[in-house]
Amino acid sequence: MDPKVVVALALSLIGGLSTSLGALLAILNCAPNNKTLGMLQGFATGLMLSMSFFDLAYDAVNAIGFLKGNLWFFAGALLFSTIAEVFPEPDCNLADENDKHLENKTGNNNIAGKELMMRHRRRVIFSVVVTAIVAGVSLQNFPVGTAAFLGTTKGFRVGLNLSLAIALHYIPEGISVALPAYFATCSKWQAFKLATLSGFAEPLGVIIVVGGVMAFLTLYEMLPIAFEYAGRKDAVKAVFVGMAFMSMREVLREKERPPENNVAMPSQSNQSGPFGL
């Protein structure tokens, strides 16, 4: 095999593997308590909201127009809303009287505390699974593995810059998947596996529908958990910190992106948007 192809393939894997690095950063510490989990959920919410509106939706509007971009965006939100109705999350918000009854019946606060923690974990699992899927399919607005591969075939420096920018993008996503997974499963291996598998979905690229799915997921599922665990004030602060972090990542990615002055672009009349539109 051509050595240049081997190098290109290796660099194209950096983006996916960087989610594993993010997972390691998350699981090397002790399992977070509810307060910490709420802050981390708020941070992840900020990451995903920023990506939904400033990355996916923005590029879709530029690619297929304002009307079509918005139609597909809200179609994604409607799709996830329907899924949430058909397959509702486990309900862990049982009445406080049930918890008090459990304590009185057993006379053991430790047992009641363990039962309550299990309810919280079952609730978080729903967020973990969907976050892993969405993060894996929708981290970039183009097939990042293919971009790194093609960039390397044009020049090692171009491919390396693209790979580093992709890795910078994937590390926080690996953290946002691994942390709630670790809390929900109490298994470092399961958290690491979920985050790693989500990163290897990168060659699938992205569709604009996922922008709406991601926005709905963060507002419907992740933000309420952050409010409940960390409180509104701290959770909102964490959301904006996450959005600022993702915005800085976008700025760095723009600086690392190779110039396109010499790339011949097809005429607008011959272009077609996603799904043949």
End-to-end CA, the chain: 38
Q: What is the DSSP string of 160-198?
A: HHHHHHHHHHHHHHHHHHHHHHHHHH--HHHHHHHHHHH
Residue 49, sorted as left (phi over 0), alpha (psi -120 to 50) or beta, turns out to be alpha
C-alpha atoms less than 13 angstroms from C-alpha of 43 in its C-beta half-sphere: 15
pTM over 0.75: no
Structure tokens at 165: 């920018």
Domain boundaries, the chain: 3-258
The pLDDT profile of the chain, 277 residues, written as one tens digit per residue, is 566 556 655 665 666 667 677 777 766 766 556 677 677 777 777 777 777 777 767 777 787 888 888 888 888 778 777 766 765 544 444 344 444 444 454 455 555 565 666 556 555 655 555 555 555 544 443 445 555 555 555 555 655 665 666 666 567 667 767 766 676 666 777 778 777 766 665 444 344 556 676 677 678 777 887 888 888 888 888 888 888 887 787 677 666 665 554 444 444 444 444 444 4
